[in-house]
Amino acid sequence: MSYTISQVAEKFDLTAHTIRYYDKEGLLPFVERSKSGSREFSDSDLEWLKLICCLKNTGMPLKQIKQYIEWCLQGDETLEIRRQLFLDHRKEVLKQMADLRENLKIIDFKLKIYDTGCNIPTHK
């Protein structure tokens, strides 16, 4: 199946401009063009974009994502370095999750105070 840039943008909650930027930066190397020059996205392209969004949403810089894609294009000789990239990124995501859990505890504590109706002194 083939998708237009508008369909892809809606599916991933991105702008068409963002998708064009990703393509221009080499993050979507397999996207084909129609005879009129429009991008035609395949199911495989959507899987790539899903991964790009996942990595970006978890804090990986686009430069690093591009490096990963370049390694993928180089073939199996880069398997170990790609694996290491994901191991390192996983550690970062776990740290983010731990930080978020700590922040959530603070928010929950404040909510508990508000729920009990206690007056909280404010700073002036």
Question: Residue 122 pLDDT > 80, yes or no?
Answer: no
**Beta-carbon contacts of residue 67 (< 8 Å; ≥ 6 apart):** 85
Q: What is the structure's pLDDT at 54?
A: 98
Angle between helices 62-74 and 79-115 (to 10 degrees): 150
- Buried residues in 2-26 as b, exposed as e (16+ CB within 10 A): ebebeebbeeeebeeeebeebbeee
H or E stretch at 52: helix 43-57
Domain 5-88: which topology? Multidrug-efflux Transporter Regulator; Chain: A; Domain 2 (1.10.1660)
d(CA 62, CA 98): 24
Q: What are the residues facing 32 on neighbouring strands?
A: 40
Say what angle helices 62-74 and 43-57 make with each other, to 10 degrees. 140
Q: Please state, in angstroms and rounded to a whole number, the distance separating the CA atoms of residues 60 and 52.
A: 9
pLDDT in tens, 43-93: 999 999 999 999 999 999 999 999 999 999 999 999 999 999 999 999 999
Mean pLDDT of all residues belonging to the chain: 94
The domain segmentation of the chain, as residue ranges, is 5-88
Model confidence, pTM = 0.84
Q: Is the pLDDT of residue 9 over 80?
A: yes
The mean pLDDT of 107-117, rounded to a whole number, is: 92
pLDDT, residue 8, reads 98
